[in-house]
Structure 1
Amino acid sequence: MKKSYIYIITNTYRTTFYVGITANLSQRIIEHQKGIGSKFTSKYNLKDLIYFEEFTDINQALAREKQIKNWKKEWKLNLIRKLNTLQI
């Protein structure tokens, strides 16, 4: 089965978050870093990958992306802190 990923990227100051979905995480992050990922990520200079989850079912990935997009910022931060050692 083909893998899918949901991911969260942010800017240097960790003030804005973007939740996305892709089948090729490394390529998608390169696109964001080059400023061609999306207009929103380019506008807010979102280039730092701080969280991702891997799925084998695209429908599960889509559901998880929608779930996280509806979360409050603090909930996203708690998710990131739980699995990362970054200071946000």
Structure 2
Amino acid sequence: MTSNLFARVWKHRNGTFDGFTKTYGCDRLVWFERHVWVTEAIQREKRLKKWRRDWKLKLIEDANPGWDDLAADWYPVNDPDWRPPVED
């Protein structure tokens, strides 16, 4: 759960987070959900963590069958003045 998905994806892509994503080279955003309330997002995240792997894969593949990177065009390429957003 994050309040700034743009910044979180950038940090994962650049290896600033230790843990699962860095260890296994996860660098594509293939699925996400938006929630109005933080409490809803946290509750949903906790439920998803208890799901079986095949259910999680189906959730992703129903929304994004090609496993396309949903953030592929979020960041300018070769822009020397670009800086990542600051997370609140």
- Whether the TM-score (by the shorter chain) exceeds 0.5 is yes
Per the alignment, residue 50 of structure 1 pairs with 30
Amino acid corresponding to residue 31 of structure 2 in structure 1: Y
Gaps of at least 5 residues in structure 1 are 1-20
Per the alignment, residue 11 of structure 1 pairs with none
Report the count of equivalent residues: 67
- Matched position secondary structure for 1:53: coil
Aligned-pair identity (%): 36
Per the alignment, residue 63 of structure 2 pairs with 83
Per the alignment, residue 76 of structure 2 pairs with none
Greater length-normalized contact order (CA 8 Å, ≥ 6 residues apart): 2
Greater strand share, 1 or 2? 1
TM-score between both structures, scaled by the size of structure 2: 0.70
Gaps of at least 5 residues in structure 2 are 68-88
Q: CA RMSD in A?
A: 1.2
Runs of 4+ aligned residues of structure 1 deviating over 6 Å after TM superposition are none
Q: Which structure has the bigger radius of gyration?
A: 2
